[in-house]
Amino acid sequence: MPDPPPERFHRVFGFCLLLETRDAIHARTRRTVQKSIQESLAYWPYPFHNLGGAGTHHFDGAADGGLRYGNQGTVDVMKPAQANGFATGPFTAGVGAARELLDGEMRMGVEGFGGEFFDPEEVELYLRMRGVVIPGGVEEVTAVVDVDGFGGVGMGIGLGSSGGGATSESESSSSVDGGTTTTSGWDFGAGSLIDPLLGGMFSQAAPTTTDFMGFSTAAPAKRVTVVVDVNMLITKMTERATCLGRTPGFRREGINAAFWEATRVISS
């Protein structure tokens, strides 16, 4: 799209526009996509490396197993030897002004860009921690996942290739010997990617937590077998990406929504 709508461009590149012109962003993006397969896609000359906390999350154990992830095995051109969250200066006055909008964890104090972001390597580890391992060169993967690990069953409702939203959640409570059992009922519409039988199971309002005589018990995990369309997952992730200069960034809720849009449940 040579001339995207201004509001769409700003949603993706709004923070970058504090430091770069639109033409500079175009040039940087072109240089990135022209890199060879041996080069990392990270843009290390960008002044801030961890906007929104991207690149600072830890996923203990997710990187085990021998499979490469992210930019492993590629050349990181101009990556600083010492990682401190910043590129090597000198910086312009515009960079100094933008730095005043960041907190100590590089969260951005700009409307529409606040909160937490994950970079692509962290997204891959986020998926692995939840049982979804995607080797290189595959179009589909099958995995057993805990529904709550991807935002709960409601994330899978009404989500399809058209990008529909979730339906409403209803809650009810019943007394159990002085305690309270909270239940959630879900409306599985015709556009749901969740299998109708699975939808029927969850629509029966399975308990989530029970408080009985002072003891709280978590409900059993809702584990399902899913098939993930990898190309669709990438497309839906890209639609939700925010440019953080060094890297694209993704919010947790965006990762979860993209996952369900690219997924079909085959058994429960």
Same domain, yes or no: 34 and 104 = yes
Same domain, yes or no: 197 and 117 = no
Return the closest-CA partner of residue 205 out of 182, 180, 189, 178: 182
Least confident of 63-72, 93-102, 154-163, 247-256: 154-163
Q: Is the distance from CB of 219 to CB of 207 less than 8 angstroms? A: yes
Same domain, yes or no: 84 and 131 = yes
Same domain, yes or no: 40 and 87 = yes
pLDDT at 106 over 60: yes
Same domain, yes or no: 129 and 246 = yes
Same domain, yes or no: 69 and 121 = yes
- Look at the chain and report how many structural domains it folds into: 2
Same domain, yes or no: 39 and 125 = yes
pLDDT at 95 over 80: yes
Same domain, yes or no: 93 and 189 = no
pLDDT at 17 over 80: yes
pLDDT at 125 over 50: yes
Does some domain include residue 38? yes
Rounded distance between C-alpha atoms, residue 10 and residue 18, angstroms:
11
Report pLDDT digits (tens) over 203-235.
334 444 555 445 555 566 689 999 999 999 999
Same domain, yes or no: 22 and 125 = yes
Q: What residues make up the domain containing 215?
A: 153-221
pLDDT at 254 over 90: yes
Q: Where are the beta strands (DSSP E) in the chain?
A: 140-146, 169-176, 179-186, 207-212, 215-218, 223-229, 242-243, 248-249, 263-267
Does some domain include residue 34? yes
Does some domain include residue 200? yes
Does some domain include residue 127? yes
Residue 12: how many other CB atoms lie within 10 Å = 18
pLDDT of residue 218: 58
Does some domain include residue 263? no
Same domain, yes or no: 126 and 245 = yes
Does some domain include residue 35? yes
Same domain, yes or no: 165 and 100 = no
DSSP string, 49-105: S-GGGTT----TTTT-SS---TTTTSB-TT--SS-SSB--S---HHHHHHHTTB-TT
Same domain, yes or no: 72 and 162 = no
- Confidence grade of residue 16 (pLDDT, cut at 50, 70, 90): very high
What's the mean pLDDT when you consider all of the chain? 78
